[in-house]
Structure 1
Amino acid sequence: MKKLHFGVFEVFSTQVGGTFSWAHPLSDQINFADPQHWIRTAKILEKAGFDFLFFADGYGYPMVGEDLSEVAVRHGINFGGYDPSLIIPVLAQHTSTLGFVVTASTGMDHPVQLARRYSTLDQLTGGRIGWNVVTGASQNAVAKVLGQSQMTAHDKRYDMAAEYVELAAHFWEKSWDDDALVADKETGVFARREGIHQVTYEGEHYRSEGYFTAPPTPQRTPVIFQAGTSPKGRAFAAKHAECVFVQGTTPAHTASNVADIRAKAEEQGRDGSALKIMAGLTVFVAETEEKARQLQAEFDAMQTDEIVATLYAGNTGIDLLALDPEKTLHQVLENNDGVVGQMGTSNIERFLGKNGAPAPTVREILDDLKGKGTRGFRVTGSGEQVADQIEALIEETDLDGFLLEPVFAPRDAEAFGQLVMPILRERGRIPELAGGSTLRERITEKPGARLGQGHHLV
């Protein structure tokens, strides 16, 4: 029986998933700036048995046309927030088993800067850190705020990311021998010089020649996550990632993406079945189905067309409200200004129609995304009903688990932990946690904190 893994998808901001619910009485997310909010959340997750707390992050924001969206500001839709990597050491002091995954875009800084930052986080958490590798989001906004004349093309960003990850791994895996750190007070020897090696790298996009000053940490390389299901994204994940976060749309579409990633991993000489592939999951769960459906109805009532359009514009560069509602997205592609297709490609392709199915109209897209945003699957019911739906999704998709995307935080994670996790654990779906496990050991369910020798980065 396949064991399942669960994380919680969060942002150091007001809102997850580009939807609107922080103003609801059941949500405490407006207190995101208070460290105590996150300490409480981390303790809830650890007690429930979640594998990790996952933070999305980025420098972008929703733009409509050439300017910041007024709706994004008014409702806090993917706008406003802080750097989540800086809260991790605080949370590590209040937990002992919970892992932490932090998003960092490639191309924002040099790989040595990121490598040193994640080494620090791995050390401070005792080997409980993961890096979610992305090539960026809202790239039109990011290009402007970084002073770039134009945003880097989608496929080129992935070419750059491949070098970025490879060079970062050189620092983590090849710069210090295992016994190079001595730290002997009696002899006064800190490290063996012959155990420290220069990293020399000459790529098309990144270069380096020098030494990595951060001593080895429990995992050396953080657990490598990747989010992105475009063709380039799937190929990148198959080669580099240990855990892949895919867009959960329909079970059939997700199953196709999962199978493709596993097959591509096999082509790279990896064990495709060893990749942990997860999707987002919005859960409305309560003691009874009636109460759960009431929660869902209250959330749905808070969503509007303008919220949907704001999020979609920020993700893809397409303003749905400026289009003919009775036509499909092909009306944009036929008059492409160069921005469309360079970001959020998976959220464009999903609405173009394929395999004989007609493309939905803009009106149908708005209706489909309302309350969904960038969220994945949605399940509703009692604890038993939700557990049944989760197992059915696993059977249909071959996923290895889910990232819970809270609507009312941290209430949703606490309710899931109390009403659903015990049932899945009783059914043998939750792996037994070994004391002192690193995040890699927890995710792979195998001993050994280091990146496996079969990985090309080692």
Structure 2
Amino acid sequence: MKTIHLGVFEVAGPQVGGTLSWPHPRSRSAQFHDLDHWVHIAQVLDRAGFDFLFFADGYGYPSVAGDLPETAARGGINFPSLDPAVLIPALARETERLGFVVTSSTGLDHPVQTARRFASLDHFTRGRVGWNIVTGASQNTVAELFGHTTMQAHDARYDQADEYLDLALRLWQTSWDDDAVRADAAAGVYADRSGLHRVEFAGEHFRSSGYFTVDPSPQRVPVLFQAGTSGRGREYAARNAECVFVQGTTVAHTAANVADIRAQAAQQGRDPASVRIMVGLTVTVRPTHDEAARLRAEFEEMQTDETVATLYAGNTGIDLLALDPERSLEQLLDRDDRGPVGQMGQSNIDRFLPKDGSAAPTVRQILDDLKGKGTRGFQVWGDPVEVADELEHLMDAVDLDGFLIEPIFDPADLEDVAELLVPELRRRGRMPQEPVAASTLRERLIGADGYFRRPEPAAASAHREP
């Protein structure tokens, strides 16, 4: 029986998942500017034995017809947002065990900048940090913000991301010997020069020559997360990721994605069981079923077609309200000028274009399906026993390692999970009776000794001085 790992999916913005919830009296998520708000959430999770707090992030925002829609601004739909990485040292100081995962794109900063930032965070958290690797989000708006003349194609972004990580790993893994740091005040020696090695990297997208200035952190390499479930995204995850975050649509579809990631990992020479795969889960748990159902109904009543369309356009480039509601997304394939369609959130397009011969849903059905769900994964509500039953079913049916809880009413939903659901999972032996006292996030999630190593890529070479 697998242990259930628990993380929490957050954004440094008004609400999670592109749905509308911040105006509800149960929610305090509009306080996202307040550091005390995040300290409270982190401490709730730390005491309850959650494994990590995960921050989605990006520079983009919803765009319809090339501009920020009024619906996004009025409703706080994936807009505005702060940089969550700056929160992490403060939250680590106020917690004992909780890990922190933050999203960073491979399409903007140079790998040297990213390697330095995460190595620094790993020091400041004493080894409790992870990197959620993304190739971008809302790429059309990001391209405009950064002055790029064109948006890079979907699969080409993953080609670049392969090389990006290759260089970051080279810097983390080969620049410093394990015993290079002496910090010997009596001898006046901080670092042993013979243990420092110059990195030479010449790839198609990135070049680097020199020494990495951050000495080895507790993990050396942050725990590597990846969240793409497109075909190319699953290939990238199978090669690189230690933890994969997928969004659940149906049990069968999600199980197929999970099986494919594990099979591709095996083809890469990895133990497929060592890849931790977690699915997004929106949980409304209350002492009774009726209380949970009432809260869920109140949330659903807040959602509108405009909210759904704003979110979907920001993720995929498709304005659902501009399409024929009685036809499927296949109507887009008839267009000569498809713009950004197919080059942005591919997985949220593929889910509505089935390849198993079944009928594709109409735009009207897509709007109804996404209403109250947004970019969220599975939806579960009920009393603690009902919710725990469903989590166990999903774990076994999909071959999961755990869940990322996506709160509706923040932080109240997380407090309910900590107080009502976690004790039930412990009673069933699905979570440890006491929070795990692992020293690093990698040890907590994977139990591996040392830091992540991957076979040297053939595309570039490192020069290590004798």
TM-score (norm 1): 0.98
| Contact preservation (8 Å) 1:226, 1:241 | yes
Q: What is the aligned partner in structure 1 of residue 451 from structure 2?
A: 450
Once residues 68 and 423 of structure 2 are traced to their aligned partners in structure 1, the CA distance between those partners, rounded to angstroms, is 44
Once residues 456 and 246 of structure 1 are traced to their aligned partners in structure 2, the CA distance between those partners, rounded to angstroms, is 27
**1:264-283 superposed matches below 5 A:** 264-283=264-283
Once residues 240 and 440 of structure 2 are traced to their aligned partners in structure 1, the CA distance between those partners, rounded to angstroms, is 19
Q: What is the aligned partner in structure 1 of residue 230 from structure 2?
A: 230
Q: Which amino acid is the alignment partner of residue 27 of structure 1?
A: S
| Contact preservation (8 Å) 2:49, 2:436 | no
Q: What is the aligned partner in structure 1 of residue 245 from structure 2?
A: 245
Q: What is the aligned partner in structure 2 of residue 380 from structure 1?
A: 381
Once residues 274 and 207 of structure 2 are traced to their aligned partners in structure 1, the CA distance between those partners, rounded to angstroms, is 32
Once residues 199 and 142 of structure 1 are traced to their aligned partners in structure 2, the CA distance between those partners, rounded to angstroms, is 31
Deviation of residue 449 (structure 1)? Answer: 4.5
Once residues 355 and 155 of structure 2 are traced to their aligned partners in structure 1, the CA distance between those partners, rounded to angstroms, is 22
Deviation of residue 120 (structure 1)? Answer: 0.7
Once residues 448 and 315 of structure 2 are traced to their aligned partners in structure 1, the CA distance between those partners, rounded to angstroms, is 39
**1:212-361 superposed matches below 5 A:** 212-335=212-335, 336-361=337-362
The answer to whether structure 1 residue 203 and structure 2 residue 203 are counterparts is yes
Q: Secondary structure at the match of 1:422?
A: helix
Q: What is the aligned partner in structure 2 of residue 121 from structure 1?
A: 121
| Contact preservation (8 Å) 1:228, 1:247 | no
Q: What is the aligned partner in structure 2 of residue 75 from structure 1?
A: 75
CA-atom RMSD, angstroms?
A: 1.2
**1:78-227 superposed matches below 5 A:** 78-227=78-227
Once residues 416 and 455 of structure 1 are traced to their aligned partners in structure 2, the CA distance between those partners, rounded to angstroms, is 40
Change in Cα spacing, 1:92 to 1:230, as seen in structure 2 (3 Å) is same
Q: What is the aligned partner in structure 2 of residue 371 from structure 1?
A: 372
Q: Which amino acid is the alignment partner of residue 379 of structure 1?
A: V
Once residues 102 and 447 of structure 1 are traced to their aligned partners in structure 2, the CA distance between those partners, rounded to angstroms, is 21
| Contact preservation (8 Å) 1:12, 1:32 | yes
Once residues 143 and 202 of structure 1 are traced to their aligned partners in structure 2, the CA distance between those partners, rounded to angstroms, is 25
Q: Secondary structure at the match of 2:157?
A: helix
Once residues 87 and 334 of structure 2 are traced to their aligned partners in structure 1, the CA distance between those partners, rounded to angstroms, is 45
Change in Cα spacing, 1:172 to 1:454, as seen in structure 2 (3 Å) is closer
Deviations 1:187-240 (A, max 9, x none): 110101110000111110011011000011000100000011000000000000
Once residues 436 and 300 of structure 2 are traced to their aligned partners in structure 1, the CA distance between those partners, rounded to angstroms, is 40
Deviation of residue 455 (structure 1)? Answer: 5.9
Q: What is the aligned partner in structure 2 of residue 31 from structure 1?
A: 31
Deviation of residue 356 (structure 1)? Answer: 2.1
Q: What is the aligned partner in structure 1 of residue 21 from structure 2?
A: 21
Deviation of residue 447 (structure 1)? Answer: 4.8
Deviation of residue 337 (structure 1)? Answer: 2.2
The answer to whether structure 1 residue 424 and structure 2 residue 396 are counterparts is no
Deviation of residue 405 (structure 1)? Answer: 0.2
Deviations 1:358-413 (A, max 9, x none): 00000000000000000000001001110000001111100111100000011111
The answer to whether structure 1 residue 414 and structure 2 residue 412 are counterparts is no
Deviation of residue 333 (structure 1)? Answer: 1.9
Once residues 314 and 390 of structure 2 are traced to their aligned partners in structure 1, the CA distance between those partners, rounded to angstroms, is 31
Once residues 154 and 81 of structure 2 are traced to their aligned partners in structure 1, the CA distance between those partners, rounded to angstroms, is 25
| Contact preservation (8 Å) 1:139, 1:343 | yes
Q: What is the aligned partner in structure 2 of residue 64 from structure 1?
A: 64
Once residues 333 and 37 of structure 1 are traced to their aligned partners in structure 2, the CA distance between those partners, rounded to angstroms, is 45
Deviation of residue 454 (structure 1)? Answer: 5.8
| Contact preservation (8 Å) 2:12, 2:32 | yes
Q: Which amino acid is the alignment partner of residue 116 of structure 2?
A: R
- Count matched residues: 456
Deviation of residue 354 (structure 1)? Answer: 2.7
Q: What is the aligned partner in structure 2 of residue 390 from structure 1?
A: 391
| Contact preservation (8 Å) 1:270, 1:455 | no
Q: Which amino acid is the alignment partner of residue 421 of structure 2?
A: V
Deviation of residue 353 (structure 1)? Answer: 2.6
Deviations 1:279-321 (A, max 9, x none): 1000111000000000000000000000000000000000000
Q: Secondary structure at the match of 1:68?
A: coil
Q: Which amino acid is the alignment partner of residue 381 of structure 2?
A: T
Q: Which amino acid is the alignment partner of residue 349 of structure 2?
A: I
For structure 2, the 5+ residue unaligned runs are none
Once residues 349 and 80 of structure 1 are traced to their aligned partners in structure 2, the CA distance between those partners, rounded to angstroms, is 27
Q: Secondary structure at the match of 2:297?
A: helix
Q: Which amino acid is the alignment partner of residue 66 of structure 1?
A: G
| Contact preservation (8 Å) 1:126, 1:218 | yes
Once residues 95 and 412 of structure 2 are traced to their aligned partners in structure 1, the CA distance between those partners, rounded to angstroms, is 19
Once residues 241 and 455 of structure 2 are traced to their aligned partners in structure 1, the CA distance between those partners, rounded to angstroms, is 9
| Contact preservation (8 Å) 2:280, 2:377 | yes
Once residues 12 and 66 of structure 1 are traced to their aligned partners in structure 2, the CA distance between those partners, rounded to angstroms, is 24
Deviation of residue 150 (structure 1)? Answer: 1.0
Return 423-432 or 182-191, whichever deviates more: 423-432
Q: Which amino acid is the alignment partner of residue 440 of structure 2?
A: T
Return 315-324 or 330-339, whichever deviates more: 330-339
Once residues 449 and 334 of structure 1 are traced to their aligned partners in structure 2, the CA distance between those partners, rounded to angstroms, is 52
Q: Which amino acid is the alignment partner of residue 408 of structure 1?
A: F
Once residues 357 and 253 of structure 2 are traced to their aligned partners in structure 1, the CA distance between those partners, rounded to angstroms, is 14
| Contact preservation (8 Å) 2:316, 2:348 | yes
Deviation of residue 435 (structure 1)? Answer: 2.5
For structure 1, the 5+ residue unaligned runs are none
Q: What is the aligned partner in structure 2 of residue 439 from structure 1?
A: 441
| Contact preservation (8 Å) 2:61, 2:79 | yes
Deviation of residue 436 (structure 1)? Answer: 4.5
| Contact preservation (8 Å) 1:48, 1:414 | no
The answer to whether structure 1 residue 3 and structure 2 residue 27 are counterparts is no
Q: What is the aligned partner in structure 1 of residue 405 from structure 2?
A: 404
| Contact preservation (8 Å) 2:438, 2:444 | no
